[in-house]
Structure 1
Amino acid sequence: MNLKEIIAQCCQQNIKAQAKVYQLFSDKLFGLCLKYSRNYEDAQDTLQDSFLTIFKKIKQYNNKGSFEGWMKRIAINTALQKYREKSPLQIVKEESIEDIEDIEEVEYDDSIISVSFLLETIQELPDRYRLIFNLYVLDKFSHKEIAKMLQISEGTSKSNLSRARLLLKRKIEVYQKMQQEA
């Protein structure tokens, strides 16, 4: 059975087809949910809520574009909605971003820095920085799209991204120095 047939069966609320979609895509979507969550448990909740929404709205998927991409968009929106419900993002409006230098890409030794450390470091960012960093850097949304999603200005999005990069750069540099000295 191909994906198109599985999706058609999901539209008819076939539990086996839904289980197959979950089996095929849960790992990828969980990784996405983990990027937007503070911890593993929050990511699990977001994943479950995302699949509930996916199966509720699956008839809206019109077989145009990537099904996985459509599901990822739902997972991202679910994660953002959870933050809005939990507490307002309290995004600080930035009048000017001139005080923030362009942050150079972080140079790091991947024999010292693990993927789990990077994920953990991103998860430790303040919510507004983490969300914007993930949306822009990892999921390739534009500042215009982010501004619309979070109801902020493009300048605020850019400023928060710069601050997120600066915090990450500092944490990575400190960690690398500690590892090299050990």
Structure 2
Amino acid sequence: MQGNRKAQLKLYDLYADAMYSVTCRYIQNREDAKDVMQEGFLKAFTRLQQYKGEVAFGAWLKRIIINQCIDTLKKRSLVYEEMNEQTLTIIDDDATWEVHSDISKQEIIQVIDTLPDTYKYVVKLYLIEGYDHQEISEILNIPVRTSRTQLMRGKTKLKNILNDHFKHKIS
């Protein structure tokens, strides 16, 4: 299919809306998001021979698009704080993850976007995209332990912001 413009156009038409939505979760400016999505599609089209059919094509493409977003953000000086062993106290206790039921999914996503970048992208990749820590580690080029720590800290910060927001919302 590489080089077959009609087939590429069909793939683009089939996946463009979904990939644009994914891109917009990382790139806030809509025009920039379109550019990043286009770059991701170009990268995918040049790598079509690497697609082995082990996962759905949409999942393979989504990974490329997310990597393109992350690469773009890194170029904008996204820096991850390297964690050392003393810093690593992982308590990934989802039992403590409770926010008020009146808080909408959209409000949660808006609050995630306000998190510091070092937390925001790990939280998005884990909670929204469904990647595990090994995959996040590969996508962001960070150690797995850093992914775990950033997720724990990001979720804690997210929970605190949401709970504070809800208190003000009903006051």
TM-score under structure 1 normalisation?
0.78
Provide the rounded CA distance (Å) in 2 between the counterparts of 1:45 and 1:121: 25
Residue 51 of structure 1, aligned match among 41, 50, 56:
41
RMSD between superposed Cα atoms in Å: 2.5
1:129 corresponds to 2:119: yes
3-state SS, counterpart of residue 75 of structure 1: helix
What 5-or-longer segments of structure 1 have no aligned partner?
1-7
Partner of 1:98 in structure 2?
89
Give me the whole-angstrom Cα distance separating, in 2, the residues matched to 1:159 and 1:39.
28
Please list, as runs of the form range in 1=range in 2, the aligned pairs for 1:30-109 lying within 5 A after superposition: 30-94=20-84, 95-98=86-89, 102=93, 104-109=96-101
CA displacement 1:120-169 (0-9 Å, x = unmatched) = 21111111211111222223333233334433332222111111101111
Whether the aligned pair in 2 keeps the contact of 1:36 and 1:130 (CA below 8 Å) is no
Map 1:13-32 to 2 at 5 A: 13-14=4-5, 16-32=6-22
- The residue matched to 1:80 in structure 2 has which SS? helix
Distance 1:165 1:80 in 2: 20
Distance 2:107 2:29 in 1: 13
Check conservation: 1:38, 1:124, Cα contact below 8 A.
no
Deviates more, 1:97-106 or 1:43-52: 97-106
1:55, distance to aligned residue in structure 2 (A): 2.0
Question: Which residue of 2 is the match for residue 160 of structure 1?
Answer: 150
Contact persistence 2:43–2:64 (CA under 8 A): yes
Residue pair 2:90, 2:148 contacting (<8 A) in 1 also: no
Larger gyration radius, structure 1 or structure 2: 1
Are residues 164 and 82 of structure 1, via their aligned partners in 2, closer, same or farther at CA, if it must alter by over 3 Å?
same
Structure 2 spans left out of the alignment, 5+ residues: none
* 8 Å contact kept, 1:143–1:154: yes
Q: Confirm or deny: 8 A CA contact 1:135 1:146 kept in the other structure.
A: yes
Structure 1 position 115 matched with structure 2 position 98: no
